[in-house]
Chain A
Amino acid sequence: MPGIYLHVPFCRSKCRYCGFVSFPYREKAAAAYREAVEREMATAAAGCRRDSFASVYVGGGTPTCLPREDLVHLLDRVDRLFAVETGAEVTVEANPDTVDVRYLAALRASGVNRLSLGAQTFDEGSLRLLGRPGGPGAVREAVRSARSAGFTNLNLDLIFGLPGQTPAAWRQTVEQALALAPEHVSAYDLELVPGTPLARAVREGTLAPCPEEEALEMYQEVIDTLTRAGYRHYEISNFALPGRECRHNLLYWENGDYLGFGPSAASHWRGTRRSNAGGLEEYLRGEGGTGEGEDPAREMTDTVIMGLRLIAGLDLEAFARRFGVPLASVYPGELERIQRQGLAEIVAGRLRLTKRGLPLANEVFRAFV
């Protein structure tokens, strides 16, 4: 069942590693944005009166840098415009320093039942390096507040492979995250996005990047630790207690349908893809969107490269049913090669990455483009 994504492109400050689309919060800009995104949603809603949505995801930027009422209002609009299922998963991303019990209670009251907190790291030095607002205490506070407000589905975002981060420091971060008993953890390998202050510092040599071997060690470590603690490693970077996998994100990895609203938001709807303009002005003018028309071959590719991100891999029979042709006949040579290279395997009718192939996932994906 399809999902809805809403992008709130404002932040109080820009983290030094961030490659997402976001702008400094300004009341006027935010007001213009809200008006525009509501119009965008209303237009789209007219074309999907018969669709029911099983997930809503509000991301950004920092959705919670909007005043409480404004965010609640937007959530209300989504609910009114679209047929959102009872029991749908409704996620809002939050920064620990922007929320308190009142804010979170309001979100809870308006139907938000999943909170994703950007913790990143519990190391003060690393937090400063990343340009994250607030300290490690803020995360703990925010988790406490969320529980108080009644949230029973929490995610913590963590980043490893930071310049200057040792495997020991990472182990500590993971432990501290575990201590907060989240239902879900996303652990990301640092990506140095060109143009960001962090990437620049590394390029210019003022910051030494984390050695590849150490980052690999950190990755393997978090998989081990979280698995032993009862979490299921269900996607390359995502871990969840049984039953608490992020339903909305699964839509992406299963190449399902979703509608995206706001600057830079993307949609995959009935075989076509669409991306909104990233720039605020452009978005407000209704310009700059790009799209890809129907293309079964492309759909197949996307299904594979996204599906292989799931640790359980791709259901080959489901693929054959969906596209009317077995995967093996579309990519005979490639399938053989990635298995021969020990990067992927077929187990119980599913094609999945091996332990060795996991950190070399791109190598496997390239076989299918």
Chain B
Amino acid sequence: MSEDHVPTDNIRNFCIIAHIDHGKSTLADRLLEYTGALSEREMTDQVLDQMDLERERGITIKAQAVRLQYRAADGRTYQLNLIDTPGHVDFSYEVSRSLAACEGALLVVDAVQGIEAQTLANVYLALEHNLEIITVINKIDLPNADPERVKREIEDVIGLDAREAILASAKLGTGVEAILEAIVARIPPPKGRAGAPAAALVFDSHYDPYKGVIAYVRVMDGSVETGQKIRMMASGKDFEVAEVGVFRPAMTAVRRLGTGEVGFVAAGIKNVRDTRVGDTVTDARHPAAAPLPGYKKVTPMVYCGLYPVEASDFGLLRDALEKLSLNDAALVYEPETSGALGFGFRLGFLGLLHMEIVQERLEREYALNLITTAPSVVYRVTTLDGRVVDIDNPAKLDALGKIQELAEPYVAASVLVPREYVGPVMELCQDKRGMFRNMEYVGPGRVLLTYDLPLAEIIYDFYDQLKTRTRGYASLDYELAGYRASDLVKLDILVGGEEVDALSSIVHQDRAYQRGRDLVERLRGLIPRQLFEIPIQAAVGNRVIARESIKARRKDVLAKCYGGDVTRKRKLLEKQKEGKKRMKQVGNVEIPQEAFMAVLDIKKK
């Protein structure tokens, strides 16, 4: 294929925003198919979602950018750049940078389900970026499809004119041409100064073992070409462009990316952290005066401890994290030790989904057996002498001495739910220390509830409970809303009188008893009896709030032992002795690995 440059006027940059399962990926597939980007033979369903994980969960994690060539009804050939956006609140920053690379967006809404919380969140984001929104009502092939109702919802809830909404069925291919025509007709071409110093927005990247980091860019001003010396403005580092290209969806080299175009840049960049999302790529010799707006460093919201089950796997874990972080600029980690679990790492994630994805990849792609400690948020401590310290691990609290105030991050959560479940949802939010903000009716029979909730409560099991209490009908979205001081306390667990650091947590005072009791009971069932009685206690400060006891063992089985039994008996004793070596010693008490895993492992609730 030739370089297929078209005049800037004929370029359209757009993305697709939709709630999970509303058909974004299928629609993207159809667009690719229709414009010939992929012959039907080459289509594996939902080509754009490359990772197995993504396919399994039906979500997009990494953004991709595909260049489509479309010959419109007016006879002209247009360059359509489809930028796929991550669909989850954890990655909202990435979403915003992808939106910044576009001029328009296809808003896809399920003709049966209608608007969901995530649809809303992303639409507001798109409107903030002044994108031209083309509404597509998808899945009209379903028997319950009610496009008229959905149109009304869109008008009522979002305030968009839905008269020109396109009715489509991505599954059957209906409406695809209409969508393409609408993109051409209604989404404005990119504005930008071809003669100005180069300024390209990085909206994603991936690591290639041969080419180094591949940065996905949207050229705002000027151009980027092979051989050019470029500068990454956030780090100030200079590189030489080895290759620029576009995704068709396969990576294809071109000589130059011009103003308004979307593609990738490979410049021998070794470290993915040198190509941060939101960064500006400019010319090293004639740099742009200022970076493109909107860049910010992402900060992790949720932390957890990750430990190998087998201590000897530590090196493997370390290597795996290194490799994983090559492709994940948002992942932060540092080594840590736990008296109970040995050597491991503390990892920071953008959110629970990010955490689950990383864990699953580590276990699957690197075949690691891991213990994950319960996720915790970052608490803000004000010490008595006025210092403010952020801690990501409850065990670090003691070292700070007396504290004046303990604050936790809050989120503004929006829950969209059918009217009949409002009661249970409000109960749940109150239960989770939520503060009511607003309730409004959106469309027939649905309510949008907004609550301020502690992030710690959200990550504990809020989403699962929400789904259970609303039989799956509720949808959730949230964004950070600052820190607030709370009556938080540190809950310690003592076994045999000794504190077990890996089991410490920070909880709200009102929860302390329940959580303490729960932990203590679980441990009692998991720690084997020993030659002496073992007290198990949950404590807040010096106060013991829950207690159990494991009786001492006074008798083993008195097995007989005659001639033929000696070898077997000896081997059994050896095996038992080996087993004891794998126990963690906490003071005098031997605690099997499984006990920690069962108590700490969030997957084994």
**Looking at the complex, which of B233-241, B372-380, B387-395, B550-558 is the stretch in contact with chain A?**
B550-558
Within 8 A of A (CB), among B561-603: 561-567, 569-570, 573-574, 576-577, 580
- B-binding segment of A45-53, A101-109, A357-365: A357-365
- Docked CA distance A20–B181 (Å): 83
Give which listed residue, A266, A301, A362, contacts B564 with CB less than 8 A: A266
Nearest residue (CB) in A for B574 is A369
- Provided the pairs A309-B561, A365-B573, A366-B576 are in contact, do residues A359 and B567 lie with their beta carbons within 8 angstroms? no
Whether A275 is near chain B, meaning CB under 8 Å from some CB there, is yes
B399 within 8 A of A: no
In-complex Cβ contact of A360 among B555, B569, B570 (8 A):
B555
Known: A302-B570, A369-B577. A260 touches B558 (CB 8 A): no
Question: Are A189 and B564 CB-contacts (below 8 A) given A362-B573, A366-B576?
Answer: no
Residue of B nearest to A359 (CB): B555
Confirm or deny: A14 has a beta carbon within 8 angstroms of a beta carbon on chain B.
no
Partner of B531, one of A219, A236, A309, A360: A360
Query: In the complex, A314→B94 CA distance in Å?
Result: 74
Q: Given A275-B567, A341-B531, A366-B573, answer yes or no on A252-B562 (Cβ-Cβ < 8 Å).
A: yes
With CB as the reference atom, state the residue of chain A lying closest to B570.
Answer: A369
- In the complex, the answer to whether A305 meets B557 with C-beta atoms within 8 Å is no
| Residue A54 is within 8 A (CB to CB) of chain B in the complex | no
**Shortest CB distance B83–A (Å):** 59
Docked pose: A264 CA to B556 CA in angstroms: 26
A312 interface residue, CB < 8 Å from B?
no
Q: Is B560 an interface residue (CB 8 A)?
A: yes
Q: Mark A244-286, 1 if CB is under 8 A from B, else 0.
A: 0000010110000010100011111000010100000000000
Chain B residue with Cβ nearest A187: B558
Query: Quick one: which of A325-369 are within 8 Å of B by CB?
Result: 341, 359-363, 365-366, 369
Verify B558–A264 contact, CB threshold 8 A.
no
Cα separation A341 to B554 with both chains bound (whole Å): 13
Interface size on A, residues (CB 8 A): 39
Cβ of A219 and Cβ of B566 under 8 Å apart? no
The reply to whether A273 and B566 contact each other, CB–CB distance below 8 Å, is yes
A212 lies within 8 A of B555 (CB): yes
The answer to whether A215 has its CB under 8 Å from any CB of chain B is yes
A216 / chain B contacts, CB cutoff of 8 Å: 554-555
Q: How far is the CB of A232 from chain B (nearest CB, A)?
A: 18
A266 contacts across to B, CB distance below 8 A: 563-567
Is B559 an interface residue, CB under 8 A from the partner?
yes
Nearest CB in chain B: distance from A69 CB, A: 27
Residues in A121-146 with C-beta less than 8 Å from chain B = none
B560–A252 CB distance below 8 A = no
Q: How far is the CA of A278 from the CA of B573 in the complex (A)?
A: 22
Given contacts A305-B569, A363-B531, A366-B573, contact A236 B558 (CB under 8 A): yes
A249 CA / B561 CA spacing, docked (Å): 9
Residues on A with beta carbons closer than 8 Å to the beta carbon of B576: 362, 366
A10 part of interface (Cβ distance < 8 Å) = no
A188 touches B555 (CB 8 A): no
Q: How far is the CA of A363 from the CA of B531 in the complex (A)?
A: 9
Asked whether A252 lies within 8 Å of B555 as measured between CB atoms, the reply is no
Asked if residues A359 and B574 are in contact (CB atoms below 8 Å), the reply is: no
Are B558 and A189 in contact, with the CB atoms below 8 A? yes
- Nearest Cβ distance between residue A272 and chain B, in whole angstroms? 11
* B557 surroundings in chain A (CB, below 8 A): 189, 191, 362
**By the criterion CB–CB under 8 Å, are B567 and A273 in contact?**
yes
A275 vs B565: C-alpha distance in the bound complex, in angstroms? 10
Q: Which residues of A lie under 8 Å from residue B554 when comparing CB positions?
A: 212-213, 216, 359-360
Q: When the two chains form their complex, are residues A188 and B560 in contact, meaning their CB atoms are under 8 A apart?
A: yes
A317, CB-defined interface residue at 8 Å: no
Partner of A362, one of B556, B560, B566, B567: B556
Chain A residues with CB under 8 A of B531? 341, 360, 363
Query: Which residues from B are CB-within-8-Å of A249?
Result: 562
| A117 contacts chain B at the CB level, 8 A cutoff | no
Decide if A62 is an interface residue (CB 8 Å cutoff).
no
B560 touches A306 (CB 8 A): no
Chain B hits for A120, CB < 8 A: none
A266 to B553, CA, bound (A): 33
Cβ-defined contact, B556 with A360, below 8 A: yes
Does A258 contact B563, Cβ atoms closer than 8 Å?
Answer: yes
The 8 closest A-B pairs by CB, nearest first: A266-B564, A359-B555, A189-B558, A216-B555, A369-B573, A362-B556, A266-B563, A369-B574
A interface with B by C-beta (< 8 Å): 5, 188-189, 191, 212-213, 215-216, 219, 236-237, 249, 251-252, 258, 260, 264-268, 273, 275, 292, 298, 301-302, 305-306, 309, 341, 359-363, 365-366, 369
Apart from A189-B559, A365-B573, 10 more pairs, CB < 8 Å: A189-B557, A219-B558, A252-B561, A275-B564, A301-B570, A309-B561, A360-B554, A363-B556, A366-B573, A366-B576
What are 15 contact pairs spanning A and B, CB under 8 A? A188-B560, A219-B555, A236-B558, A251-B563, A252-B561, A252-B562, A265-B563, A265-B564, A266-B564, A273-B566, A309-B561, A362-B557, A363-B556, A365-B569, A369-B573
